[in-house]
Amino acid sequence: MRTAPPVPDETVRLPVEDLLALAGRVFLRLGLSPAHAEAMARTVVAGQRDACPSHGVYRILSCAHTLGCARVDPRAEPVLAATSGAVVRVDARYGFSPLAFERGLPALVASTREHGVGALVLQHCFHFSALWPEVEAITAQGLAALALTSSHAWVAPAGGHAPVFGTNPIAFGWPRPGPHPFVFDFATSAIARGDLELHRRHGTPLPPGCGVDSDGQPSTDPLAVAQGAMLAFGGHKGSALSAMVELMAGALIGDWISLESRAFDAGAGAIPCHGELVLAFDPARLSGGDATAQQQRAEQLFQAITRQGARLPSQRRFEARARSLAQGVSVPRALYEEILALAD
Amino acid sequence: MRTAPPVPDETVRLPVEDLLALAGRVFLRLGLSPAHAEAMARTVVAGQRDACPSHGVYRILSCAHTLGCARVDPRAEPVLAATSGAVVRVDARYGFSPLAFERGLPALVASTREHGVGALVLQHCFHFSALWPEVEAITAQGLAALALTSSHAWVAPAGGHAPVFGTNPIAFGWPRPGPHPFVFDFATSAIARGDLELHRRHGTPLPPGCGVDSDGQPSTDPLAVAQGAMLAFGGHKGSALSAMVELMAGALIGDWISLESRAFDAGAGAIPCHGELVLAFDPARLSGGDATAQQQRAEQLFQAITRQGARLPSQRRFEARARSLAQGVSVPRALYEEILALAD
């Protein structure tokens, strides 16, 4: 393994392939099947490469913790059902989600091209990854995508004080000419769960509006909010979207809502186990006409955003990706050594 | 026409059927075909009945204005194309949207039952209605629904100062046992355009965070914001959702984005002309199993929200509906008289 000398802020830089190989080796060591180990390595390295540390290689440690305490099957072979209408269904059988997504993707793409719209239902998976890698895998096929997943019940509904919703991310992607699609991926909670944990660990106050204590009073104390409830972004609108995610990625697809997922966890603090819904759309089929004119219309929108100095979502992430590919992926030294220790 | 005596706050109460008859008569008088007049009357009376005045019978006046200044065709017969895959397409041919939706609904329901997921594309329509009447028409069939539409470019992207997005509403519905579905319908702008207009008319300041002046500085002056730009709700997340609406209900379906719709209007202040995308989902098909267990899961979610004293979206609207059905629909007397004058 080639490692560049540590930079002053105590990080290590590794070529993507080396970090992939290391992560894969650790996952095998942790008992994952080769197919799971590869899919998981791709997922956590993509997060690290794009400077999303909360979805990066530190998740290897969460997976190790989850394997020690939860009913996850590290070798579960996902079962792809025969496509029914426009619906592709993969039962992850209580394995990690990335392999289940990879197994369903070709059928989703085929179904979407055939019907104009396609739905991929993932069931019974331990889910820790960002949604943008999935959305980008779909835009790479020239399709638009919308992905929704629940998590653990940590977020109170607008006007309430008790946790009901997960952090319930929504991700969307639109294929563009050139290297990068239009992509966003955000939690419907006012703050990501990982960021709340960081504030708790560092003893720093939360920004206002992120949560309430167990009496339902607004609080910036991360411990009080962890014992009370987080809040949705954007008031009643964000709260409504979070409810939609529960319904679409839970009740609609016959999988758990975040209340059930949290109950299943029973305080273990493992990676949440639940379902996911991914919708895909074929612009060539939905436009009913000239796909080039339509592509230009989207580019006109993006130009109207960027020429006034506003950024497109994911722009920072794509910049980080370019840096990582050119200079190697940056990993904090302490974390790198923890991961190395797991590889032995 | 039976009218109850005016209540002290100068409103008139009319039975729903009488208001429907009056609205239908006015629309005929304004030159709409009988089919359009009936669909439009149902739409504006539903808004008034549910105490949504901005989508109520005052819209009769906006329609009258639009007929006087825009290239709307009041008698356009919508053209329903043969369903292609899961996609139902209706060309409204520059007529008002409610009839186009009604013409597409049966095919959308059939397509969704057949494929699990269905998409209804409405193109080239003058669109002023709330999205919840459409979403409720779909939940009444036991399906879930997600509806998106753009408007006129009034809203700046996060980090910007120039209008790009419309107020771009998102509506979602989930079928429930009992009289009312779970429904939300909100603008992705921080304030509705109609509310901005009300503040401008009354000279009252906007709540903070709703807009910027033409120099991009935050402003609560409704006139300065109307000349500058409105903002999305929820910061960069709401802005990202608004971009998604432009892409899904514009570029994806081969219709205008809000910049084009505003340019077409050319300052006339008519009802916006653009497209709409309505997605529908069949829980029986997507669950892959026991639809009753799935329904119960959704009800468990709603109970977890309401038993802590939080409200479900649309609850106030359903209460207003019950009052209107029992006691008649309330219309401000001055507005009622303006409408009556149009009927003669």
B253 touches A: beta carbon within 8 Å? yes
Per-residue pLDDT tens over the stretch A135-156: 999 999 999 999 999 999 999 9
- The tokens for A249 are 């990625």
Residue of A176, A260, A132 lying closest to B251 (CA atoms):
A176
- Is a pLDDT exceeding 90 seen at residue B291? no
Known catalytic membership, residue A324: no
Nearest residue of B to residue A254 by CA position?
Answer: B287
B229 touches A: beta carbon within 8 Å? no
- The tokens for B165 are 């997005």
Q: Which helix (H) or strand (E) holds A72?
A: none
Which 3 state secondary structure label does DSSP give A278? strand
List C-alpha distances in Å: A35 to A56, A81, B297.
19, 19, 33
List C-alpha distances in Å: A158 to A88, A189, A191, A231, B180.
34, 11, 15, 7, 20
The answer to whether A172 and B240 are in contact (CB under 8 A) is yes
The torsion angle over the Cα atoms of residues B184, A120, B302 and B119, rounded to 10 degrees, is 30
- The tokens for B105 are 């609904």
Q: In the block, which residue shows the tokens 């292609």?
A: B84
**pLDDT mean for each 10 residues of chain A (344 residues):** 55 97 98 98 98 91 90 96 96 97 98 98 94 98 97 96 97 96 97 88 93 94 95 98 98 96 91 96 90 92 97 96 97 95 90
Which 3 state secondary structure label does DSSP give A141? coil
The answer to whether A139 and A147 are in contact (CB under 8 A) is no
The pLDDT, as a whole number, for residue A289 is 78
* Chain CA centroid to CA A287, Å: 29
Residue of A155, A157, A102 lying closest to A129 (CA atoms):
A102
Is the CB of B237 less than 8 angstroms away from the CB of A233?
yes
Nearest residue of B to residue A238 by CA position?
Answer: B234
The answer to whether A173 and A138 are in contact (CB under 8 A) is yes
The answer to whether A250 and A150 are in contact (CB under 8 A) is yes
E-state strands within chain A: 11-14, 79-80, 87-96, 117-126, 144-149, 155-156, 170-174, 182-186, 211-212, 229-231, 273-281, 329-332
Handedness of CA B123, B125, B128, B129 (dihedral sign): negative
Q: In the block, which residue shows the tokens 């790198």?
A: A336
The answer to whether B16 and B325 are in contact (CB under 8 A) is yes
Q: How far is B163 from chain A (nearest CA, A)?
A: 9
What residues of chain A lie within 8 A of the CB of B285, using their CB? 84-85, 87
Nearest residue of B to residue A282 by CA position?
Answer: B252
- The tokens for A161 are 């004080």
- The tokens for B155 are 């809203």
Per-domain residue ranges of chain A: 11-69+314-343, 79-189+232-286
Q: How far is B231 from chain A (nearest CA, A)?
A: 12
Interface of A with B in 20-59 (CB under 8 A): none
Q: How far is A296 from chain B (nearest CA, A)?
A: 8
3-state helix, strand, coil in chain B (%, to 5): 45, 20, 35
Report d(CA B154, CA B162) in Å as an integer: 8
Which 3 state secondary structure label does DSSP give B182? strand
The pLDDT, as a whole number, for residue B1 is 44
- Other beta carbons less than 10 A from residue A165's beta carbon: 33
Q: Please report, as a single letter, which amino acid is at residue A127.
A: H
% of chain B with per-residue pLDDT over 90: 87
- The tokens for A129 are 């990854």
Select from A89, A117, A240 the Cβ nearest to the Cβ of B117: A117
The radius of gyration of chain A's CA atoms, rounded to the nearest angstrom, is 20
- Other beta carbons less than 10 A from residue B176's beta carbon: 16
B226's CB contacts (< 8 A; 6+ apart) are: B196, B200
**Residues of B annotated as catalytic (active site), given as ranges:** 54-55, 195
Interface of B with A in 141-170 (CB under 8 A): 144, 146, 156-162, 164, 170
The pLDDT, as a whole number, for residue A6 is 45
Q: Please report, as a single letter, which amino acid is at residue B311.
A: R
B82 touches A: beta carbon within 8 Å? no
Instruction: Locate all alpha helices (DSSP H) within A187-314, ordered by sequence.
Output: 193-202, 222-227, 235-246, 258-265, 283-286, 291-306
Determine the CATH number of domain B79-189+232-286: 3.30.1370.60
Architecture of domain A11-69+314-343: Orthogonal Bundle (1.10)
The answer to whether B182 and B176 are in contact (CB under 8 A) is yes
**What ipTM does this complex have?**
0.95
- Other beta carbons less than 10 A from residue B184's beta carbon: 23
E-state strands within B85-157: 87-96, 117-126, 144-149, 155-156
Is the CB of B121 less than 8 angstroms away from the CB of A286?
yes
What residues of chain B lie within 8 A of the CB of A233, using their CB? 234-235, 237
The pLDDT, as a whole number, for residue B9 is 66
A288 touches B: beta carbon within 8 Å? yes
Which 3 state secondary structure label does DSSP give B204? coil
The pLDDT, as a whole number, for residue B3 is 52
Q: How far is B216 from chain A (nearest CA, A)?
A: 10
Q: In the block, which residue shows the tokens 């990066």?
A: A56
Residue to test with chain B: of A257, A258, A281, most B Cβ within 10 A: A281
The answer to whether A60 and A36 are in contact (CB under 8 A) is no
Report d(CA B319, CA B333) in Å as an integer: 22
What residues of chain A lie within 8 A of the CB of B170, using their CB? 241
- Report DSSP state, residue A33: -
- The tokens for B340 are 């009556």
Q: How far is A165 from chain B (nearest CA, A)?
A: 9
Catalytic residue among A33, A54, A214, A287: A54
Residue of A127, A124, A99, A146 lying closest to B277 (CA atoms):
A146
The pLDDT, as a whole number, for residue A9 is 65
Report d(CA B234, CA B241) in Å as an integer: 10
The pLDDT, as a whole number, for residue B6 is 45
Is the CB of A288 less than 8 angstroms away from the CB of B89?
yes
Is the CB of B247 less than 8 angstroms away from the CB of A301?
yes
Is the CB of A298 less than 8 angstroms away from the CB of B247?
yes
The pLDDT, as a whole number, for residue B4 is 52
Report d(CA A25, CA A37) in Å as an integer: 8
The answer to whether A135 and A147 are in contact (CB under 8 A) is yes
Select from B87, B237, B256 the Cβ nearest to the Cβ of A117: B87
Per-residue pLDDT tens over the stretch B94-106: 999 999 999 999 9
A17's CB contacts (< 8 A; 6+ apart) are: none
- Is a pLDDT exceeding 60 seen at residue B56? yes
Report d(CA A103, CA A77) in Å as an integer: 10
Is the CB of A86 less than 8 angstroms away from the CB of B117?
yes
The answer to whether B69 and B91 are in contact (CB under 8 A) is no
What value does the mean pLDDT take over residues B183-204? 92
The pLDDT, as a whole number, for residue A1 is 43
List C-alpha distances in Å: B141 to A51, A55, A185, B280.
45, 40, 32, 10
Is the CB of B257 less than 8 angstroms away from the CB of A300?
yes
Is the CB of B117 less than 8 angstroms away from the CB of A286?
no
- Other beta carbons less than 10 A from residue B291's beta carbon: 17
A217's CB contacts (< 8 A; 6+ apart) are: none
Q: Please report, as a single letter, which amino acid is at residue B56.
A: G
- Is a pLDDT exceeding 70 seen at residue B334? yes
- The tokens for A45 are 């390295």
